[in-house]
Structure 1
Amino acid sequence: MKKSLCCLVLLLSGCAQHHESAGPKPLSPLTKESGGLMPPSQQYLHFTKAELHFKVEPQQQAIEGEAKLTFSAKAPLQTLSVDLDPSFAISAITFNGQMLAASAWHNPEGRLFITLPKEVAKGARFTLGIHYAGKPHVAKHAPWDGGFVWAKTAEGEPWIATAVQGEGCDLFWPCIDHPMGEPDVAELFITVPAPLVAPSNGAFLGMEEKDGWRTYHWQVAHPNTYAIALNIGPYEKLEATYHSRFGNSFPMDYWYLKGQKAQAEQLFAEFPRQLDFFEQTIGPYPFGNEKMGVVHTPHKGMEHQTINAYGNGYAQNIYGYDDLLQHELAHEWFGNQLTNTDWDDFWLHEGFGTYMQPLYAQYLRGDMAYDASLYRVRGAIKNKRPLVSGHSQTEEGVYDEKRGPGQDIYVKGAFMLHSLRSYLGDKGFFTAVRELVYGTKDPRPGHFAPRYGTSKEFIAIVSRLAGEDMQWFFDAYLYQAPLPKLVANRDGNTLHLSWQGTKSAFLMPVEVALDGKVYKVAMAGGKGSLKVGKAEHILLDPHQKLLRDEPHFAAFQAWEQLKREKARNAKK
């Protein structure tokens, strides 16, 4: 998550985000945005393999890259494009090993257009070789903005990482910068000065050392487009084998900085319990044929497939676990196993990923912890724009609160899932989630693969399992910004309830506590009533199951904003 739990942790803790200062030159508009409508020059490509060679030079803060990209054609092709930051100098491009003339390609804005020497037939496979070099874009404050992080450890050794979710993979390798641009497999060769270590995605295939350089070889299947990551530093490693409740086993690895072994061991001890929670709650760890990996990075964190970035300072929350570690691990299911087909459905990554923290608090500490965790989530919902617009979006278009729902993809998405769970019951809810993630309600290791999903698909799954058309629920929470409003009027012995402010009749039943005793009111057609007699204290939704308009949350947010503004003015 670009921003993933990193931003969520700051949001819920009240911490201020980093103040941006002067930094690297601006990216081209095309490179700055990830996703959106895939151009015709990419729509007819099936990305079979990315073989990526990187030589990283810490002193120059530069890289040399060679990308061998294998595609198969979905239709006859004469021209195509891949995405690459135009600040890189391209020295050569080959087609099936044949050198192309410089006139056969151009990259003025970040979309590298290539004219092939001959038409490629439908179904044919071919390989492009792209040789490039330069200084990659530097992140001012990763992961809130994307790029390379060139840092040093306390001992002055190089400590380097990439984090590119918002701007995309084209910040450092030629790719199809779109959620649906995943290669079937990526093979990485990362060359760094010895004795530095370069953990990366997938399975480790070996390391060679020659002339003062080390080359690390990794291979990963179906990597998310922004999830391929470089991590370089003087790392040491903790390792163990996780034995899954599903009968398989796989490596757990944590790369940490020298001198921090005690903190690393404490964090590493959380790995198996968090894994078991996810496997028990959702299903098998999706990448058991590779590893569950985490690496200490000089930025807050990011869900890089099988090599999650962690930079949370070995924090513990009130529930007794590191919530950033848990949130990033959640993305192995929601983001890496299940990937949104378009950034317009970004809540599928972040809403589910965020809901996993209250669920884990409940798993560890019980219902009070679940309720407390969720109440903080509820207090952060802003409802400025719908979670889903219904048209293709870029990542920044969704994440930027001036254009899209912003942080609501985390918090509103999560609380919506809480309300859905209360309506469906645990069995129906978790079965629906499992089908969305794996494409089956009974996933078994080795019998599923990463997949794409949409909001519409989830709505269809929920409707089928609920035995009714659930569009009314999602219309209210995904496709409009304001929350449903519950209006209550007492007329003598009767309490009249009605849902207002939704496109269609909102059918969520309402629990009402009468002097402490709870009753459930059906809301056929969006209306219902309850005999209340002489009850002195009437409380709507006493267990906070309903995501609804409640003015005290907006009032609290306004007060907090005013407090922040006063603090800023006092510093001037």
Structure 2
Amino acid sequence: MKRIILFSFLVFGVHTAFAQLTVAKEIFTRRDTLQGSLRPERTSFDVQRYDLNIKVDIDKKNIVGYNDITFKVVENTSKIQIDLFENMQIDSIVYNNKKLQFKRELLATFIQFPTPLQKGNQEKIRFYYSGSPVVAKRAPWDGGIVYSQDTNGKPWVAMACQGFGASCWFPVKDSQSDEPDFGASIKVAVPNGLKNVSNGRFLGSEDLNNGYTRWDWEVKSPINTYDITINIADYVHIHDNHKGLDLDYYVLRANEAKARKHFEEVKPMMDCFQSKFGEYPFKEDGYKLVETPYLGMEHQSAVAYGNNYLQGYLGNDLSRTGVGLLFDYITIHESGHEWFGNSITSKDIADMWIHEGFTQYTEIVFAECQFGYEKAMVYAKGLQNNVSNDRPIIGHYGVNKEGSGDMYPKGALLLNTLRHVINNDAKWWAMVFKYSETYKKQIITTQTVIDFFNKESGINLTPIFNQYLRYTTIPELEIRKKDKALEIRWKTDEANFEMPIVLEIKGVKNRVNVTNNWKKLEVKTKSISEVHPDKSAFYIKY
């Protein structure tokens, strides 16, 4: 979520500090490597489950508690890495009722076992910790915890840590490469009179007789660690059900009436997305929207919502076409992440276009479901204005580094272009549906995506993927007049580039296959000015 929010604020003229991972970095630090790379201390074990049990002291802005980390040993090892930000304290790490030795280096905690752990064994440690998590200054553009108040003066607290790191607030294997296979439990004690809402299903609450009530939640599905969250407020719970899917909304007390009306949009959204991308992937955990003091985030089965019950993006249209004001951007975009980002996850955040490009494409899909193809293409073309082509979409691997914020609009426009390259809607939607189902609840790479679409389309799409993902330029269509005829070619960074284009000439549409080599354009015109490429269906320069 974070990247598009920052970019759109720039679009609307708010020139403030960039998010932590948005400014290009050419030199990477040891901390970047510790957070982003995969070494034996990380790859030797596979997390099976997290069981988090904490108390949040809002007045002191402090967290205290523990995380039980259950894991399977993949390779014999005596040392593993668990992450926790430097400003947080480790109270002890317990294994088989004995305290373990550990060494801290920046955010990494290297835990030493007295005897080697054997491959195939399942083990569990209890990691006791405490401290005051970093307070976000402008969530979700930066990461950390948010302390606010509702209109009645009651505390309103929430967490947003995508890119920044889940280890900013609890001990965790902080890598997208490993999700807990069997979910998590999140037990959070908060001051009496407030509720905590986290991911998954609500199991119940318990008055601890010390001024705090603990709220227990259970996630059965694998979950990205940055998706695990807390939301603390005087919430009102609204329950609904749509065709067998539980819909739950937790909103501030003052907003109950408007929320009941506004969130009706979720039902046609679910109908659209499930028809195009398959069944909601976390049905066992339910679907929730939770009102937050920041704009939004794709927290799995507890989607953060802070768009003030407005259409568009805080009342603005990112496409600047009018189509973006026909739906609530945050509801649609963040919910789209349930399929793309939460279900299908990139192994390294350098490939975050797999999350963000596909999810911005869900906006185009929803617009088409609701308002028709023509308006969807108007919206898609409007998104072209948000592409800066400043850096490649794919970032640097192994250093917790995302690529350009273009991963949102340019990634979506790549997919829209591919749809029209394939030129068979029945085939395209079948491919997208199969992609969502094939890699449901899996962790993949860019190469996985390319291989899938190559195979299913029967077309070598690799050069097209590469041009849009790995370069700062897009295909440039060149037309020239030579010997009383017109010639056409693509100018690209990627060698051996081939892609069709639709040209409108005197009201007639002509589909032409174009390569990097000049070829004669077999059309009934000798005037370049009469040739108009379709720049809504294809994201190109001309």
Structure 2 unaligned regions, length at least 5: 20-27, 313-321
Give 3-state SS (helix, strand or coil) of 1:286's partner. Answer: coil
> Aligned residue for 1:205?
203
Say if 2:52 is the partner of 1:52: yes
Say if 2:532 is the partner of 1:540: yes
TM-fit CA distance, 1:29: 6.7
Contact 1:255 1:295 in 2 (8 A): yes
Structure 1 unaligned regions, length at least 5: 22-27, 244-248, 399-403, 441-448, 551-572
Give 3-state SS (helix, strand or coil) of 1:176's partner. Answer: coil
Deviations 1:332-381, CA, capped at 9 Å, x for gaps: 00000000011121101000111111221122122332122112211121
TM-fit CA distance, 1:15: 4.4
Q: What fraction of aligned residue pairs are identical, expressed as a percent? A: 29
Q: How does 1:411-422 map to 2 (within 5 A)?
A: 411-422=409-420
* Alpha carbons of structure 1 residues 261 and 17: separation in structure 2 relative to 1, 3 Å: farther
> Aligned residue for 2:152?
155
Say if 2:473 is the partner of 1:478: no
Say if 2:307 is the partner of 1:312: yes
2:348 to 342, 352, 355: 342
> Aligned residue for 1:494?
485
TM-fit CA distance, 1:433: 2.6
TM-fit CA distance, 1:475: 2.1
Partners in 2 of 1:167 and 1:34 — Cα distance? 13
* Alpha carbons of structure 1 residues 427 and 258: separation in structure 2 relative to 1, 3 Å: same
When structure 1 is superposed on structure 2, of 488-497 and 175-184 the one drifting more is 488-497
> Aligned residue for 1:216?
215
* Alpha carbons of structure 1 residues 9 and 427: separation in structure 2 relative to 1, 3 Å: farther
Deviations 1:87-139, CA, capped at 9 Å, x for gaps: 12222210122233xxx112241101111122111111111111111111110
> Aligned residue for 1:254?
249
Partners in 1 of 2:528 and 2:477 — Cα distance? 20
Provide the aligned C-alpha RMSD in A.
2.2
When structure 1 is superposed on structure 2, of 493-502 and 36-45 the one drifting more is 493-502
> Aligned residue for 1:164?
161
Partners in 2 of 1:17 and 1:289 — Cα distance? 42
Contact 1:239 1:253 in 2 (8 A): yes
TM-score of the pair, normalised by structure 2: 0.91
Partners in 2 of 1:533 and 1:67 — Cα distance? 71
Say if 2:121 is the partner of 1:124: yes
Give 3-state SS (helix, strand or coil) of 2:387's partner. Answer: coil
> Aligned residue for 1:468?
459
> Aligned residue for 2:275?
280
Partners in 1 of 2:485 and 2:299 — Cα distance? 55
Amino acid paired to 2:442: R
> Aligned residue for 1:378?
384
1:409 to 407, 410, 430: 407
Partners in 1 of 2:328 and 2:352 — Cα distance? 24
* Alpha carbons of structure 1 residues 224 and 30: separation in structure 2 relative to 1, 3 Å: farther
Contact 1:96 1:126 in 2 (8 A): no
* Alpha carbons of structure 1 residues 394 and 203: separation in structure 2 relative to 1, 3 Å: farther
Deviations 1:172-207, CA, capped at 9 Å, x for gaps: 111111111211221111100111011110111111
> Aligned residue for 1:265?
260
Contact 2:505 2:532 in 1 (8 A): no
Amino acid paired to 1:69: I
* Alpha carbons of structure 1 residues 533 and 72: separation in structure 2 relative to 1, 3 Å: closer
Amino acid paired to 1:167: F
> Aligned residue for 1:238?
238
Contact 1:47 1:70 in 2 (8 A): yes
* Alpha carbons of structure 1 residues 526 and 355: separation in structure 2 relative to 1, 3 Å: farther
TM-fit CA distance, 1:469: 2.2
Give 3-state SS (helix, strand or coil) of 2:418's partner. Answer: helix
TM-fit CA distance, 1:79: 1.2
TM-fit CA distance, 1:283: 1.0
Say if 2:423 is the partner of 1:434: no
> Aligned residue for 1:303?
298
TM-score of the pair, normalised by structure 1: 0.86
1:186 to 184, 187, 212: 184
Partners in 2 of 1:158 and 1:17 — Cα distance? 29
Contact 2:480 2:528 in 1 (8 A): no
Q: How does 1:350-361 map to 2 (within 5 A)?
A: 350-361=356-367
> Aligned residue for 1:387?
393
